[in-house]
Homo-oligomer: A and B are copies of this chain.
Amino acid sequence: MSRTLVLGGARSGKSAHAERLAAQSGKDIVYVATASAGDAEMARRIAAHRADRPAHWATVEEPLALAATLEQWRAPHRLVLVDCLTLWLTNLLFADATDYPEVGAIALPRRFHDERAALLAQLDSGAGDVVFVSNEVGMGIVPFGAVTRAFADEAGRLNQAIAAASDNVVFVAAGLPLVLKGAAC
């Protein structure tokens, strides 16, 4: 049983790297897509990604309830590939069309805190391989707007928490992996 985090920037090749890891595992693959086709651009991106994956992989779409999805699908003969944590975080922060203030303290939704805690607990207790894909978003200029900064903060904190709970962590740039933790993968 192994838990792996594949971290990288936008269009870094992180999804392709994670899919290669999954294919090499020899296990049955369950692909968990956290993207929601909210607009036409996103729908095109989702369809393009799906066409790139092997047809025999099972695909599950779950924008919010990630812990329950892992609970349902993780098993010793399977590898669950979650792509990606950053969209899941976005979905949780904006699921309820919350009216965040432009400045000042941001109160994040209760559901975000609950889902995050449940995910970390499931990671610890469940059986079966998991590979997470996640974005590095904190290496540019700090963006304007309190909610965007809160998002950047939570994305970074989430990456740290998942990395700490993982056996392997790999950073991908230009399609090439740098091992941050665990075995080369």
Known contacts being A174-B159, A175-B160, is A138 close to B5, with CB within 8 Å?
Answer: no
Known contacts being A41-B104, A152-B11, is A162 close to B174, with CB within 8 Å?
Answer: yes
Could you say which of B11, B104, B105, B143 contacts A141, with CB atoms under 8 Å apart? B143
The majority secondary structure among interface residues of chain A is: mixed
Whether A7 lies near B174 (C-beta < 8 A) is: yes
Is A153's beta carbon under 8 Å from chain B? yes
Q: Would you give the 0/1 interface string for A33-67, flagging 1 where the beta carbon is closer than 8 Å to chain B?
A: 00000011100100000000000000000000000
* Supplied contacts A9-B156, A141-B152, 8 more A-B pairs, CB within 8 Å: A5-B174, A10-B152, A40-B105, A136-B173, A141-B143, A141-B148, A162-B174, A171-B178
